[in-house]
């Protein structure tokens, strides 16, 4: 797996998606923002009341209790974190540029 094209692709995707989200966020009304905040709070409340169940075993990829498997998964998680870090940074940059463009 060549890392340079992969990182370049993530930067490009992050910037484009960030620009779109930033522009939409700037144009969204306060009502839409309020609805999204209420939705997030409601989902967290439902999770706390055990109405919605989050499968944390799937989120940890079954790493708990399997020490021999941890090193292999740690490497793939590190690769994923690097990829998501690059993507997240580009997404944030695109988001702020998108907000500035729509002002």
What the block records as the tokens of 4 is 């340079």
Provide the token pair at 40.
């997030």
Mean pLDDT of all residues in 51-68? 66
pTM score above 0.85: no
For residue 42, pLDDT beyond 80: yes
Q: Give the integer Cα–Cα distance in Å for 92 and 88.
A: 6
Mean pLDDT of 57-82: 69
Answer yes or no: are the C-beta atoms of 79 and 6 closer than 8 Å: no
| CB 80, CB 2: distance < 8 Å | no
Residue 37, token pair as written in the block: 């905040």
Q: Counting Cβ atoms within 10 Å, is residue 91 exposed (0-12), middle (13-18) or buried (19+)?
A: buried
């Amino acid at each position: 797996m060549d890392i340079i094209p992969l990182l370049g692709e993530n930067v490009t995707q992050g910037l484009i998606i960030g620009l779109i989200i930033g522009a939409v966020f700037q144009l969204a009304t306060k009502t839409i923002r309020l609805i999204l905040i209420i939705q997030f709070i409601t989902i967290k409340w439902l999770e706390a009341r055990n109405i919605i169940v989050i499968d944390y075993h799937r989120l940890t990829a079954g790493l708990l209790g399997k020490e021999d498997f941890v090193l292999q998964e740690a490497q793939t998680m590190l690769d994923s974190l690097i990829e998501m870090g690059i993507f997240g940074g580009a997404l944030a940059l695109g988001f702020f540029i998108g907000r500035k463009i729509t002002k």
